[in-house]
């Protein structure tokens, strides 16, 4: 008999990859391994994740102590390595065609129409793949002097707009991003439009926590849609709401960083609800992976692990915990971009028998599992591992 669950806590450690996928060469990511890189830091102290089976995962294959959870690796089927398609696949929608990227910057015909619609110009030199911290150092002063927007991209399918909060107020920047989101369709249909506000004076400009993402609507039915339709709670924490354009979500809790996300989870573990809590913890990617900060990444994982110890102690008998990731972002490679990697799968509930879930063919196996646990029809792809963890 399969165990019944009332609450499922699905937490995504943004960018915590565990080793290159077989097609990593297609993405220029041979040799990438976020976890291996983080393990070089003396700041890493994650006994709880290791006790759930992190080091026993076949892709990791590190010696470890006794295990009290189920564990495995997840292979991404979508043609991408970014937040958007990674989360979509976790929720049951595989992107077989890659979202458009712009390695040479956005074409003039698009930028001119964007400029006409928003009433501001754009800085031509910034219009290319760029580090978000470097682009404001290079063009922040020109932006402040002219009011022109800093529009740039990355290796991912993103249209990013940086603006000083004292030059372009947040309300205006968010409105500009909404205009861009409506414009960017079809061949220009990037996965996300991202508001990147900053403050400071030259040369010490710095990004603020007022980032906001505007995602392309998911091109398929997700587990969120199905759970909401079945009358279950679907609570998002962090940027989950943005990634899914608010669709299929019954309650959204804002969390701009890991600590706010963990604080939200700390409150939710003590609250009664029936359904899914879907959380993204963004700092691993935003603050440490993209900035090649190995020690910062390790310290953030250690802080999460200490939180996880307390969280597990407060779990109820009918709670299910799933920890995974959406892609990699190896902080020891020369690149500051995401990396095409396997992601971890760690599962725990009271009474679970340690189980090797091996390599899952798609992130969508988690969507199938969540839906089966609640007795809801699952999305069309993915194989549930519920029977394996409850045997």
What's the confidence (pLDDT) of residue 73? 98
Cβ distance 235 to 255 under 8 Å? no
Q: What's the Cα-to-Cα distance from 75 to each of 125, 150, 152, 354, rounded to whole Å?
A: 37, 35, 30, 21
Cβ-based burial of 375 (10 A; exposed 0-12, middle 13-18, buried ≥19): exposed
| 180-220 pLDDT tens trace | 999 999 999 999 999 999 999 999 999 999 999 999 999 99
Average pLDDT over residues 143-156: 96
Average pLDDT over residues 288-299: 97
Average pLDDT over residues 371-389: 95
Q: What span, in angstroms and rounded, lies between the C-alpha atoms of 379 and 360?
A: 16
pTM of the entire structure?
0.92
Give the side-chain half-sphere CA count within 13 A for 26.
10
| 302-316 pLDDT tens trace | 999 999 999 999 999
Q: Inform me whether the pLDDT recorded for 148 exceeds 80.
A: yes
| 321-362 pLDDT tens trace | 999 999 999 999 999 999 999 999 999 999 999 999 999 999
| 52-105 pLDDT tens trace | 999 999 999 887 778 999 999 999 999 999 999 999 999 999 999 999 999 999
Q: Inform me whether the pLDDT recorded for 46 exceeds 70.
A: yes
Q: What span, in angstroms and rounded, lies between the C-alpha atoms of 63 and 211?
A: 40
What's the confidence (pLDDT) of residue 380? 81
What's the confidence (pLDDT) of residue 285? 97
What's the confidence (pLDDT) of residue 1? 53
pLDDT above 70 as % of the chain: 99
Q: What's the Cα-to-Cα distance from 180 to each of 82, 99, 245, 375, rounded to whole Å?
A: 20, 16, 15, 39
What's the confidence (pLDDT) of residue 118? 98
In the chain the domains, ranked by start, together with CATH numbers, are 7-97+218-389 (3.40.720.10), 108-215 (3.30.70.1250)
Mean pLDDT, rounded, of the chain = 96
What's the confidence (pLDDT) of residue 66? 85
Residue in 160, 147, 162, 151 with CA at minimum distance from that of residue 198:
162
């Amino acid at each position: 008999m399969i165990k019944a669950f009332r609450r499922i806590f699905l937490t995504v450690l943004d960018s915590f990859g565990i080793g290159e996928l077989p097609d990593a060469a297609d993405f220029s990511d041979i040799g990438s391994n976020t976890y291996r890189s983080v393990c070089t830091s003396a700041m890493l102290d994650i006994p709880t994740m290791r006790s759930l089976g992190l080091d026993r995962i076949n892709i990791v294959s590190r010696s470890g102590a006794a295990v009290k959870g189920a564990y495995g690796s997840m292979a991404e089927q979508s043609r991408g390595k970014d937040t958007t398609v990674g989360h979509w696949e976790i929720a049951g929608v595989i992107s077989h065609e890659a979202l458009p990227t712009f390695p040479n910057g956005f074409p003039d015909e698009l930028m001119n129409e964007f400029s006409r619609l928003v009433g501001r110009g754009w800085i031509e030199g910034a219009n290319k793949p760029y580090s978000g911290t470097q682009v404001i150092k290079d063009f922040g002063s020109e932006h402040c002097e002219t009011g022109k927007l800093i529009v740039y991209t990355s290796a991912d399918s993103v249209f990013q707009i940086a603006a000083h909060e004292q030059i372009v107020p947040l309300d205006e920047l968010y409105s500009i991003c909404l205009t861009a989101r409506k414009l960017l369709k079809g061949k220009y249909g990037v996965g996300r439009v991202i508001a990147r506000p900053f403050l400071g004076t030259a040369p010490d400009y710095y990004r603020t926590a007022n980032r906001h993402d505007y995602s392309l609507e998911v091109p398929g039915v997700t587990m969120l849609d199905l759970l909401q339709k079945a009358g279950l709670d679907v609570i998002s924490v962090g940027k989950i709401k943005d990634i899914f354009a608010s669709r299929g979500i019954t309650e959204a809790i804002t969390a701009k960083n890991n600590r706010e996300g963990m604080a939200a989870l700390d409150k939710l573990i003590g609250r009664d609800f029936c359904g899914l809590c879907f959380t993204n913890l963004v700092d691993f990617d935003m603050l440490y992976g993209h900035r090649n900060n190995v020690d910062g990444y390790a310290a953030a994982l250690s802080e999460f692990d200490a939180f996880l110890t307390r969280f597990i102690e407060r779990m109820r008998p009918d709670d299910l915990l799933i920890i995974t990731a959406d892609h990699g972002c190896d902080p020891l490679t020369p690149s500051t971009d995401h990396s095409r990697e396997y992601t971890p799968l760690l599962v725990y509930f009271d009474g679970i028998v340690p189980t090797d879930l091996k390599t899952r063919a798609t992130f969508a196996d988690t969507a199938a599992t969540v839906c089966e646990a609640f007795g809801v029809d699952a999305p069309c792809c993915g194989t549930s591992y519920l029977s394996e963890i409850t045997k």
